[in-house]
A and B are shown apart, each in its own frame.
Chain A
Amino acid sequence: MDLSESVEALWRIESPQLIATLARRIGDLDIAEDLASEAFVAALEQWPVDGVPPRPGAWLTTTAWHKAIDRARREETARRKAPLLVAGQDGQLPDVTDAALAPIPDDLLTMLFTTCHPVLAPESRVALTLRLFGGLTTDEIARAFLAPSPTVGQRISRAKRTLAEARVPVEAPAANDVPERLRAVLEVLYLIFNEGYSASSGESIVRTDLAIEAMRMGRVLAGLLPTEPEVFGLVALMELQASRFRTRADADGMPVQLEHQDRLNWDRTLIDHGLGMLDRAFDLTRPLGPYTLQAAISACHARATSFADIDWVAIVALYDALAQVTGSPVVELNRAVAILHLDGPEAALLVTEPLLEDRRLAGYHLLGAVRDDLLTRLGRHDQAAAELERAADIAPTKQERQLLLDRMVEALEAANH
């Protein structure tokens, strides 16, 4: 094992807690990250000579702290203010063995709340979270997003500057802000996951890494917040969805519907772990949140041994609850699909009727696609063709537009027979 590979691995393992601890003492994420990087550079210089220390994490913390003290001294010498050190204002430099330097998991949580702060744009939250909480290098993030490394580097610097300019303190949110701030954190993790999940097949190998990182960070968060059901719900949802990565596209990269996926090829390890996480979410017995409900729906699919074996009664009930919690018309559309399997196309079509009036779905082509499927099943091919024409007009990509138009031609042919 090459030393630089080991140091890169150690960065991933140790840097989040190291930066979080330094940030608590110093009050500045940017300086904390700088100090951590300096400590790793020192490791690359010294370890080949002295050997890798028995507790690399402790070595890195101590080294970073020495660098912090050096900086403070330099600043003092320059007769500038020393904003660097929160402690030791009376000119006394803090002791390296100071108990306050001990890593505290809460620091990690505070850092995550900061990197997901609402003052930042979503793409900045994503990059900064992957960098600081995920311990990814800028190059790794750039590779995952298929973006040039300098672009990602600039995005991260800009995010840190925004936090500094808005004077966002590195501290845990006030108790009554926690639910909202936690929602923002979960949103960022799910955004990262979906960045990987929805990637097209040509990019799938790289992008799957993002989904894996999102799941890993979700599990870390679950360890930090073991009483928040929605954290477990989100991890379960991501793992259950990711368990179908291998089967969701065919050899040509076209999406394969759940009904036709090769269930034997689903990832049992992720399913087992995801179901365990879902149990934890349920055990915390609170009104079920949207992530837990979605995970529970996903679990119904994971537990079924075949498509015919799916518990549609449970799925429809879960969609009822999810529609209530979210009030989302997209959820309502998914509920209609579940009702198709439980009560047939007529009942499902009824559920979709009010959605035609919902302005939030005005540009949503999948409404037309679902209605086409229902109308076709009912033999109403004329109407199906009309739905497809409307859907094709608003399809987001050329391929999807073409697919819808092809189906329209089929529907018109069927109508003329």
Chain B
Amino acid sequence: MRVMVMTKGDAADEGRGEPTTEMFEKMQAFNEQLVNAGILLGGEGLKPSNAGAKVAFSSSGVSVFDGPFTESKEVIAGYWIWEVSSLAEAVEWAKRCPFDSSYGDSQVLEIRPLFDMEDFAETVDAETLARSEELQSRATGG
């Protein structure tokens, strides 16, 4: 089972200080555990939300908001992709993630399983699959 694990914090805590060497090392040690367990497939860190923007759709139209997302309690700071045997295994690993309250009073790790091919086989109809094939031939010139 492949999961995306997103680390989230309060927008108000963004930029509360550059990570110290100690915090950096703790995080590195955690990442090393994930690598050595053979479950870490990828991941990235995100810049603070003041570098980003939101495009919001509603019945009244499209609105664009520049960052920072000050009102948000759960701003994504980074994510990993893990290959685990169960959600419980992902939870056990997530509990081992280092947390330092000097960067914020709360940190949330949200774990979300990714769809895989078996999930799609039942919901995608033949017509859509045919369109996907057509898209493929246009994209690859094949």
Contact = CB atoms under 8 A, between A and B. Distances in A.
Interface of A: 1-2, 5-6, 8-10, 12-13, 56, 105, 140, 205, 212, 215-220, 223-224, 245-246, 262-265, 269-270, 272-273, 305-308
B38 interface: yes
Given A13-B89, A219-B35, A270-B41, A306 B83 contact: no
Contacts of B35: 219, 223
B87 to A, nearest CB: 8
Interface of B: 2, 35-39, 41-42, 81, 83, 85-89, 91-93, 117-118, 132-133, 135-136, 139-142
A269 B132 contact: no
A308 B140 CA distance: 9
| 5 closest A-B pairs by CB | A219-B38, A9-B88, A216-B38, A9-B89, A223-B36
Say whether chain B's binding surface is mostly helix, strand, loop, or mixed: helix
A269 B41 contact: yes
Given A219-B39, A264-B132, 10 more contacts: A205-B118, A216-B83, A217-B38, A219-B38, A264-B136, A265-B132, A270-B41, A306-B142, A308-B141, A308-B142
B83 to A, nearest CB: 6
B42 A9 contact: no
A140 B86 CA distance: 12
Contacts of B92: 6, 9-10, 13, 56
Contacts of B93: 13
Say whether chain A's binding surface is mostly helix, strand, loop, or mixed: helix
B71 to A, nearest CB: 31
Contact of B42 (A10, A262, A272): A272
Contacts of B37: 13, 216, 220
A59 to B, nearest CB: 13
Contacts of B140: 263-264, 305-306
A271 B81 CA distance: 14
A89 B63 CA distance: 77
Contacts of B118: 205
A219 B42 CA distance: 13
Contact of A215 (B38, B117, B132): B38
Given A246-B117, A270-B41, A264 B85 contact: no
A353 B42 CA distance: 46
A217 B83 CA distance: 12
B86 A220 contact: no
Given A219-B38, A270-B41, A273-B41, A9 B86 contact: yes
A1 B38 contact: no
A223 B39 CA distance: 12
B133 to A, nearest CB: 7
A104 B40 CA distance: 21
A13 to B, nearest CB: 6
Contacts of A2: 88
A56 B133 CA distance: 49
A270 B117 CA distance: 14
A5 B86 CA distance: 9
A264 B134 CA distance: 11
Contacts of A272: 42
Nearest to A136: B85
A10 B39 CA distance: 14
Contacts of A269: 2, 41-42, 81
Nearest to B114: A269
A264 B140 CA distance: 9
A267 to B, nearest CB: 9
A8 B86 contact: yes
A223 B81 CA distance: 18
A223 B41 CA distance: 14
B132 A262 contact: yes
A9 B132 contact: no
